[in-house]
Structure 1
């Protein structure tokens, strides 16, 4: 689990293909502190397990699934990557809960200066857009970001100068491919509601005679219909 706050921008030392898998070596300094073999480091938002450590770099194995779902297979020596160590219990959470499980690959559509900030529009696949809401969270290359606007096939985010200067976002150009991860809370809510709806349908079909102490039928307190009435869905 990560917080979406980039600790350091590393540089790819080597990407060696091993059949359908790969070995990735990254030059770094800060994230090496307190890190050992077996620990997790997010590389551009993808959670990877450290397999080797050295004084100025670390190595990870990249599975076929990760290569298929992320941009890691496109990396080359010298490429800059966002790095973050796993969260420690009790540490401050400056972003949001990021699993490091990339949902899909998107792309930069356009960049627009707005004051000192830069608004960037991203194209995103349905697997991500299903959970994107205005003012909600989304992880782009491991960065915890707030959605400014939701588009038909993507979303916009405003980057402040600090983020542009200390992450790979400063190098974004139209067409740049990025790793995207939707907020895990949205996925849990969807799963809960889908099960809740099924249970509600079953109760409706069976017409349960269950009564409360007041003699009234017991109704679900949380359902998709209830949330829709309150403006949440």
Structure 2
């Protein structure tokens, strides 16, 4: 479990093809503190398991399904990556519940200044059904509040500090990002859709 509060921006040093996917060598410093092999680190929001470590970074494996359902395939050597260690049981919860299980991807459409803040608009496609104004979403692992929701897009706003400690200002128009919708919204949507399809008369053994 993660909070969506980015601890460090690392760098992708190497992509190594493996039979089951890719091994990613990532340069990092802060997230190495207290980390051991087998621990989880969110890499641009993707929960990955640390398979090896060095004084200057770590390696994590990504399987084919993870590569297909995330923006990993667009990453190049040198790409900046947002990193967060799994939340300790005695830690403070400053963001929202983030599982690190990416739902899919979105595409940056535009950015515009709004005073000292910057508003980013993304095309989220079908994932919009899980988005509500003032609700939560994780974009590349960052816990964010949805400012505006349209039938196909979402907009979020970042203050200068948030932009300094993340990679959002490095995103070019059209950039593909990982999104994880709020898990409560997904569960409620699934439950209500399932309710509509349930034949309660048959379930209860009589007419309703």
Q: TM-score by structure 1 length?
A: 0.84
In the other structure, the counterpart of 2:131 is 132
Q: CA deviation at 1:186?
A: 1.1
Distance 2:202 2:7 in 1: 49
Q: Bigger radius of gyration, 1 or 2? A: 1
- Residue range with higher mean Cα deviation, 15-24 or 175-184: 15-24
In the other structure, the counterpart of 1:181 is 180
Q: CA deviation at 1:194?
A: 4.1
Secondary structure, aligned partner of 2:12:
strand
Q: CA deviation at 1:193?
A: 3.0
Is the 1:104–1:125 contact (alpha carbons within 8 Å) kept by the matching residues of 2? Answer: no
What is the total number of aligned residue pairs between the two structures? Answer: 207
Give runs of ≥4 in structure 1 deviating > 6 Å: none
Q: Deviations over 1:71-95 (max 9, x none)?
A: 1122122110000001111311111
Q: Deviations over 1:85-139 (max 9, x none)?
A: 011113111111111111111111000100000001001131x211000000011
* Relative contact order, higher structure (CA 8 A, sep 6+): 2
Secondary structure, aligned partner of 1:163:
helix
In the other structure, the counterpart of 2:111 is 111
* Inter-CA distance 164–201: structure 2 relative to 1 (3 Å threshold): farther
After TM superposition, the structure 1 = structure 2 runs for residues 1-233 of structure 1, keeping only pairs within 5 Å, are: 1-19=1-19, 21-126=21-126, 128-197=127-196, 198=198, 200=200, 202=202, 206-207=206-207
In the other structure, the counterpart of 1:217 is none
Q: CA RMSD in A?
A: 1.7
- Residue range with higher mean Cα deviation, 73-82 or 186-195: 186-195
Listed as ranges, the gaps of 5+ residues in structure 2 are none
Distance 1:193 1:71 in 2: 30
